[in-house]
Amino acid sequence: MLGESEAENGVLDAVKAVRRAIRALGYDYVELPLNLPIESVYETLSKLRVNIVFNLFEGFAGMPATEAVIAGFVEKLGLPFTGSSSQTLTLALDKAAANQRLRSNGVRTANQQLLTARDLDRFHLGFPCIVKPRADDASHSLSEKSVVFDMDALSREVDAMVNRYDGTAALVEEFLEGREFNATVWGVDSPVVLPLSEIIYTLPEGLPKILTFAAKWEPKSMYFAHTAVQCPANVTPDLRAAIQSTALMAFKAIGCQGYGRVDMRLNKDGHPVVMEVNANPDIAPGTGVARQVKAARLSYKAMVSKIIDFGLVK
């Protein structure tokens, strides 16, 4: 798939940067690549004799649920590790379940429903909508066609999404056209929000303003060329406070630990609406978390040191 190698290289970029930071911090370390079959991973991990595992695993290719499985192995072995628990990673990956958890904790979210081609008669949202995979990451399967404006387009996209994910119902969500922000939250007992980022779209008229797979991973694409990030975001004090409050509520509701990223859009009334909570976000240089850390006047080495400290005390 076009862009897939770039997505995988993003993880390797994080590995290289974290390795440099750990060396600069003066720690001894063992670097442990993981390979299938998944049953062999537990045996590999069981041989570790370390104070903490710095978890950069985002799942085997095409198997996003394995992200939580491996964290579960580390938990079973009783090893401290950075980032969120396997339970939280499982919840955050399942966008429908995460939406329900957020709503039950008073966090504003977009209206959504799970649909297949066989039950489109249950559709009760208004147009436009966006059709997403229920449980995938890195903007996989998102393109300009994902935003639909009528039943014919909805039917096509739902059917394609269900087929792509082996019969799993597609997540259909109201599409909010307001400004888009993301916020890194980090800490354990008293988490804080780092400087906000806004996604700035300068796309030609007619293309929906969404962070597609191409926008992230295909440098020669129209979406990549016309999608930028402004950090710190240019917001009023009141809007900044509203976004920060929403991000903290979402982080806690999902059960994130150490660090995470909350993606939001503004609704027609200007209120932040949570679109997704990423409990294991990319921390490679130049990505959202690292960018916001830099805006907070912290070095990459300091970021890695803090993430390790959070992992030791959670």
pLDDT digits over 209-224, tens only? 999 999 988 999 999 9
pLDDT at 7: 59
- For residue 115, list its beta bridge partners: 170
pLDDT digits (tens, 9 = 90+) for 13-38: 999 999 999 999 999 999 999 999 99
Q: What does pTM read for this prediction?
A: 0.94
Give pLDDT, residue 6.
Answer: 59
CATH number of 112-174: 3.30.1490
Residues near 152 by beta carbon (within 8 Å), at least 6 away in sequence: none
User: For residue 232, is the peptide bond before it cis, meaning its omega torsion is within 30 degrees of 0?
Assistant: yes
What single-letter amino acid sits at 129? C
- DSSP states of 284-301: STTSHHHHHHHHTT--HH
- 134-137 LR contacts (CB < 8 Å, sep 24+): 134/94, 134/95, 134/96, 134/165, 134/168, 134/169, 134/170, 134/171, 135/64, 135/65, 135/93, 135/94, 135/95, 135/168, 136/64, 136/93, 136/165, 137/58, 137/59, 137/64, 137/93, 137/278
What's the length of the chain?
A: 314
Do residues 229 and 288 lie in contact, with contact meaning Cβ atoms separated by under 8 Å? yes
Residue numbers of the chain with a pLDDT score lower than 70 = 1-10
CATH topology of domain 90-108+176-312: D-amino Acid Aminotransferase; Chain A, domain 1 (3.30.470)
The whole-angstrom separation of Cα 15 and Cα 227 is 25
Q: What are the residue boundaries of the structural domains of the chain, listed by start?
A: 2-81, 90-108+176-312, 112-174
